[in-house]
């Protein structure tokens, strides 16, 4: 559609949607649409045709029925904190905000579960469960703002995944609306549902298979106690080995985080966590559980870290110090934001043993491009977040940062890892999907999408690249003489 | 070709069957041949495709071919102080890894250690066209593309044969203790739910014949502390838990239809639960009932659960809980996508797939 057609479409569609959703909740003016033009990946911006904010499940159903009948694209959005452009609007479609569906329907302590609407914030679930001694485990760093609906769409992680799993491991069920407007329950009140595990399929599907309108999450007992050790290392390799040694000792840490020198220095300057700024890397290792259990485990962790060659190991003496140790890690992204006008956050996962090689290569890319890179690493589960520092005001730097990012992701695939551990593909990493999957596998994804959404209206153009797109992109990435997509024409 | 790798031969057999429209019956180590509706078809023998392909204890990931016997995997893990957390049952035989994942069944540790789908990281799949496809990976966190590998867990081989599977493994607990408390059913159920809400190192909670069986797993300090707090007598230990996992307890030695109910755990006694073993701290109940299949399914569905006629059905009553029309349509669509000729275990789970 061109601009004129788009304006016409908007004028035709808005009244139809205002028939099914309260008038004020269908936004059509440019200044109303503007706040929705991007999600947490602000480098990409698109104005949607309309923004619709339904206030009930019935309204979501009605909106989807209208869009299905009219062939209008629908992009669902939670809190808009996503980092891969998954909620980037479609210029010819509506943006469906689930923000008004923000009710905690029930907390059932006896069943250790909570039933919530998709717009409920991640942290709000744990707050509501707290009086019962329970909490919701997945804790993405945006948990204060991000919504549970978005967590389901992205299969969000956090710093406690190694022990407690991702979103997919902490859901019991969802209520979903199909693009045709039908309501369907996936999963159930027990630990499994009948038939295929459609709940797992929906989790992490980036809003491309249906719209989730209710989520049933698992609640866990709040651990009696948590304790953290901070270890400093003179070499990144030794820190990497220390992680392997802790795992080999049979300890399953609740959190195991690594920061390299650039990121720990930025964090220290920002929040004064007491990090040793001359260390090549630090590790934060947290154990949680019963009081006695934690005492036993933290002593083991401390000994292991020293045996592995840590220069120094500190254990937090009280809750205040524990919070301070974590403050630096939790503020790592904004801290890096202070030392650079812009940064680009990557999200690859690698088998941990390849960490030294991957960090060496990243350092080389950094040197070649002239862009600084700070590394923050969920060391327990192999999820690496290199932050590429750049200045968007310098012409060409964003493109350069994206290129470095792309190379890092392809390196992750090369060592047996993946292009995204927890942020999702969205629009951002769609080209790298071509490096990770074969044409047959990508076609399978498209076919699965068609089962749920034959017209391709739900979040079109995201997450799964077309084979033509891969042919175009892949031509630049011939690996070992193996030309991918040889059957496609190239221009 | 590596020893134990018959991937190409299997792919050839599926391609050939697809061309002829010949149904295939997928067979691993045949430990669960009683489960699901009988399949008429040429056997696709997966047991020859066997062997652990990669295992690095410090990565907490193990990859093995689908036909690998579960005990072989458990032995390799035990050597390194690790374990499979989902305790897959083999019943009276030996289960294969592929079958354990495809059946989706988990043992007593399930509510705390997760189901096969929870530990599944990725797989190599042989689809109904005879194509070899890779989904997921060998890393803990991976959100690239739809999660098609988890979709295979519990699909009973109706969407593909699992050629190779990568799973997350965990350190085995250093201390374990079994306790028994004499309690009638309803009070035992309350007790289980109470314990489940506390940060106790539970790894199993089961009620049978007025006895509540509890297993604690963790480090020695935590197990000792909770053993003290919970009280009760010393339990029968691993014998009991293995008997429960593999249905060798006396409770299961009956030829009557055995129902598996999956329920919100705190659900109080249902009318259909005439003779019941309550596992998973209330979430899974094994039931012999004089209620009709329809009565059982209605009652269970009302509280948000589902019911499987696990063993000793009459061949006429559908074994798996019927699907609503939307889910039925999605199941048929997925079946068509992965297996357009409908040759893989047709009718094994539902008549339409």
Mean pLDDT to the nearest integer, B284-305: 97
Contacts with A448 from chain B: Cβ below 8 Å: 146, 148, 334, 337
Token pair 């988890």: residue: B150
B287 pLDDT band (50/70/90 cuts)? very high
Interface of B with A in 215-234 (CB under 8 A): 218-222, 224-226
Range with the poorest average pLDDT among A68-72, A318-322, B9-13 = A318-322
Which DSSP string do the residues of A223-270 spell out, in sequence order? PSEEEEEEEEESSHHHHHHHHHHHHHTT---SEEEEEEHHHHHHHHHH
Q: Distances in Å between the alpha carbon of B275 and those of A190, B251, B313?
A: 20, 9, 17
Mean pLDDT, to the nearest integer, of A216-233? 96
Q: What is the pLDDT of residues A260-284, one digit of tens each?
A: 999 999 999 999 999 999 999 999 9
Q: How distant, in Å, are the alpha carbons of A285, B170, B241 from that of B174?
A: 20, 12, 17
Provide the pairing of β-strand A312-315 with A255-260.
Answer: unpaired
CA distance B353 to B339: 9
User: Residue A359 pLDDT more than 80?
Assistant: yes
Q: Is pLDDT of A480 > 60?
A: no
User: B261 has which bridge partners?
Assistant: B285, B307
Q: What is the pLDDT of residue B293?
A: 98
Per the CB < 8 A criterion, the answer to whether A37 and A47 are in contact is: yes
Q: How confident is the model at residue A142 (pLDDT cuts 50, 70, 90)?
A: confident
With CB atoms and an 8 Å threshold, state whether B153 touches A463.
no
Query: In terms of CATH architecture, what is A340-414?
Result: 2-Layer Sandwich (3.30)
A154–B147 C-beta distance less than 8 A: no
pLDDT at A491 over 60: no
Residue in chain B nearest A218 by alpha carbon: B111
pLDDT for A440 equals 95
Minimal Cα–Cα distance from A429 to chain B, Å?
Answer: 9
Contact (Cβ atoms closer than 8 angstroms) between residue B63 and residue B138:
yes
- CATH architecture entry for B7-171: 2-Layer Sandwich (3.30)
Which of A114, A194, A243, A411 is the best mutation test for B, with the most CBs of B within 10 A?
Answer: A194
Query: Cβ separation of B218 and A296 shorter than 8 Å?
Result: no
Q: Which residues of A touch B264 (CB under 8 A)?
A: 108, 111, 113, 189-190
- Report pLDDT for B1: 60
In the predicted model, is pLDDT for residue A478 greater than 90? no
List the single residue in A190, A290, A292 with the smallest CB-CB distance to B263: A190
DSSP A56: S
pLDDT-derived band at A474, boundaries 50, 70, 90 = low
Q: What's the rounded mean pLDDT across residues B194-215?
A: 97
User: DSSP character for A120?
Assistant: S
Tens digits of residue pLDDT in B101-150: 999 999 999 999 999 999 999 999 999 999 999 999 999 889 999 999 99
Q: What is the CA radius of gyration of chain B?
A: 21
A444: nearest CB among B133, B155, B221: B133
Q: Given pLDDT bands bounded at 50, 70 and 90, which one contains residue A159?
A: confident
Mean pLDDT for A427-440 is 92
**pLDDT of B217 over the 90 cut:** yes
As for the ipTM of the complex, it is 0.97
Q: How far apart are CA A422 and CA A402, in angstroms?
A: 18
Q: How far is B307 from chain A (nearest CA, A)?
A: 8
Average pLDDT over residues A164-192: 97
Distance from CA of B20 to the nearest CA of A (A): 22
Closest CA to B218 of A294, A276, A311: A294
What confidence score (pLDDT) does residue A237 get? 87
- For residues B31-45, give the mean pLDDT: 97
**Which residue from B58, B142, B265 is facing A244, i.e. has the nearest CB?**
B58
| Distant-in-sequence, close-in-space partners of A226: CB < 8 Å, separation ≥ 6 | A254, A286, A287, A288, A294, A322
Is the per-residue pLDDT at A115 higher than 50? yes
pLDDT tier at A285, thresholds 50, 70, 90: very high
Residue A187 has which token pair? Answer: 């999963």
Contact indicator for A366, A372 with CB cutoff of 8 Å: yes
CA B58/CA A355 separation, integer angstroms: 13
Our CA dihedral for A364, A365, A367, A371, rounded to 10 degrees, sits at -150
* Statement: residue B17 has pLDDT above 80: yes
Domain residue limits, chain A: 3-97, 104-221, 225-333, 340-414
Say if residue A489's pLDDT is above 80: no
Interface of B with A in 117-176 (CB under 8 A): 117-118, 127, 131, 133-135, 137-148, 150-151, 153-155, 159, 170-172, 174
Q: Does domain A104-221 have CATH number 3.30.465.10?
A: yes
Q: For residues B317 and A339, give the distance between their C-alpha atoms in angstroms, rounded to a whole number.
A: 67
What integer pLDDT is reported at residue A27 of this predicted model?
A: 98
In whole angstroms, what is the distance from residue A192 CA to residue A176 CA?
Answer: 17
pLDDT at residue A25 greater than cutoff 60: yes
Q: Within an 8 Å CB–CB cutoff, is residue B58 touching chain A?
A: yes
The CATH architecture assigned to A3-97 reads: 2-Layer Sandwich (3.30)
> Is the fold of A3-97 the same as that of A340-414?
no
Query: Up-side HSE of residue A47: CA atoms within 13 Å toward CB?
Result: 13
Domain spans in chain B, listed from the N-terminal domain onward: 7-171, 175-311
The region of weakest confidence among A421-435, B276-290, B334-348 is A421-435
Average pLDDT over chain A reads: 93
Cα–Cα–Cα angle for A124, A125, A127, nearest 5°? 60
Please give the Cα distance from B146 to A203 (Å, whole number): 8
Nearest CA in chain B to A224: B199
CATH class of A225-333: alpha beta
Mean of per-residue pLDDT scores for chain B: 97
For β-strands B24-27 and B42-45, DSSP reports them as parallel
What percent of chain A shows pLDDT beyond 70? 96
Q: What is the pLDDT of residue A405?
A: 94
- pLDDT reading at A113 higher than 60: yes
């Amino acid at each position: 559609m061109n601009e004129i057609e788009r304006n016409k479409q908007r004028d035709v569609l808005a009244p139809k949607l205002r028939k099914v959703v309260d008038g004020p909740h269908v936004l059509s003016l440019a200044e109303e649409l503007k706040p929705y033009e991007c999600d947490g990946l602000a480098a990409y911006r698109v104005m949607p045709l309309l923004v619709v904010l339904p206030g009930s499940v019935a309204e979501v159903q009605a909106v989807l029925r209208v869009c299905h009948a009219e062939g209008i694209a629908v992009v669902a959005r939670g809190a808009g904190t996503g980092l891969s452009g998954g909620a980037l609007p479609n210029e010819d479609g509506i943006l469906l905000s689930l923000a008004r569906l923000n009710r905690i329907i029930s907390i059932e302590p006896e069943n250790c579960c909570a039933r919530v609407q998709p717009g409920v914030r991640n942290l709000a679930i744990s707050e509501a469960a707290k009086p019962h001694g329970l909490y919701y485990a997945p804790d993405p760093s945006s948990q204060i703002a991000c919504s549970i609906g978005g967590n389901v769409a992205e299969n969000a992680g956090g710093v406690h995944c190694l022990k407690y799993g991702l979103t997919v491991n902490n859901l019991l069920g969802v209520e979903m609306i199909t693009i045709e407007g039908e309501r369907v329950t996936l999963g159930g009140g027990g630990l499994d549902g009948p038939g295929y595990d459609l709940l797992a399929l929906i989790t992490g599907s980036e809003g491309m298979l249906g719209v989730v309108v209710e989520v049933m999450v698992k609640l866990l007992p709040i651990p009696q106690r948590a304790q953290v050790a901070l270890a400093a290392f003179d070499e990144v390799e030794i820190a990497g080995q220390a992680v392997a040694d802790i795992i080999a000792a049979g300890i399953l840490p609740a959190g195991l985080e690594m920061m390299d020198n650039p990121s720990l220095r930025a964090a220290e300057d920002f929040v004064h966590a007491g990090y040793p700024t001359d260390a090549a890397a630090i590790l934060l290792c947290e154990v949680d559980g019963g009081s006695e259990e934690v005492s036993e485990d933290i002593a083991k962790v401390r000994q292991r870290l020293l045996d592995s060659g840590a220069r120094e190991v500190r254990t937090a003496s009280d809750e205040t110090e524990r919070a301070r140790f974590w403050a630096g890690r939790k503020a790592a992204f904004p801290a890096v934001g202070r030392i650079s006008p812009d940064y680009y956050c990557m999200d690859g996962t690698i088998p941990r043993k390849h960490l030294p090689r991957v960090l060496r290569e990243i350092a080389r890319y950094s040197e070649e491009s002239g862009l600084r890179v700070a590394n923050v690493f969920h060391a327990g589960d192999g999820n690496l977040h290199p932050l590429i520092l750049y200045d968007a005001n310098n012409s060409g730097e964003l493109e350069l940062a994206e290129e470095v990012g792309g190379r890092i992701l392809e390196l992750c695939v090369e060592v047996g890892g993946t292009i995204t551990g927890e942020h999702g593909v969205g629009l951002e990493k769609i080209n790298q999907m071509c490096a990770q999957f074969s044409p047959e596998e990508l076609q399978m994804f498209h076919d699965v999408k068609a089962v749920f959404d034959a017209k391709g209206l739900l979040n079109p153009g995201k997450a799964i690249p077309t084979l033509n797109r891969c042919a175009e992109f892949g031509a630049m990435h011939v690996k070992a003489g193996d030309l991918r997509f040889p059957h496609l024409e190239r221009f | 070709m590596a020893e134990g790798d018959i991937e190409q031969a299997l792919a050839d057999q599926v391609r050939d069957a697809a061309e002829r429209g010949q149904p295939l019956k997928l067979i691993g180590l045949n430990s669960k041949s009683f489960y699901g509706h009988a399949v008429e078809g040429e056997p696709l023998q997966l047991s020859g495709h066997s062997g652990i392909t990669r295992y690095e204890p410090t990565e907490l990931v193990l990859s093995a071919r689908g036909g690998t016997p579960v005990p072989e995997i458990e032995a390799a893990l035990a050597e390194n102080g690790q374990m499979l957390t989902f305790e897959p049952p083999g019943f009276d035989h030996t289960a294969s890894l592929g079958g354990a994942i495809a059946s989706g069944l988990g043992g007593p540790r399930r509510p705390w250690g997760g189901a096969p789908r929870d530990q599944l990281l990725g797989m190599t799949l042989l689809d109904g066209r005879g194509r070899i496809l890779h989904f997921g990976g060998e890393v803990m966190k991976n959100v690239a593309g739809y999660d098609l590998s988890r979709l295979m867990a519990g699909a009973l081989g109706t969407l593909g044969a699992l050629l190779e599977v990568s799973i997350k493994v965990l350190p085995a607990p250093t201390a374990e203790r079994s306790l028994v408390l004499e309690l009638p059913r309803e009070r035992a159920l309350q007790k289980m739910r109470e314990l489940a809400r506390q940060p106790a190192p539970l790894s199993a909670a089961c009620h049978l014949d007025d006895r509540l069986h509890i297993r604690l797993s963790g480090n020695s300090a935590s197990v000792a502390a909770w053993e003290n707090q919970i009280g009760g007598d010393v339990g029968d230990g691993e014998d009991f838990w293995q008997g429960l996992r593999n249905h060798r307890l006396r409770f299961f030695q009956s030829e009557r239809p055995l129902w598996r109910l999956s329920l919100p755990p705190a659900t109080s006694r249902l009318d259909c639960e005439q003779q019941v073993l309550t596992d998973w701290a209330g979430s899974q109940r094994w039931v012999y009932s004089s209620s009709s299949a329809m009565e059982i399914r209605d009652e269970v569905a009302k509280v948000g659960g589902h019911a499987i006629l696990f063993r000793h059905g009459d061949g006429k009553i559908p074994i798996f809980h019927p699907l609503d029309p939307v889910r039925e349509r999605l199941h048929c669509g997925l079946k068509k996508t992965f297996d357009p000729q409908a040759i893989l275990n047709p009718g094994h789970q539902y008549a339409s797939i």
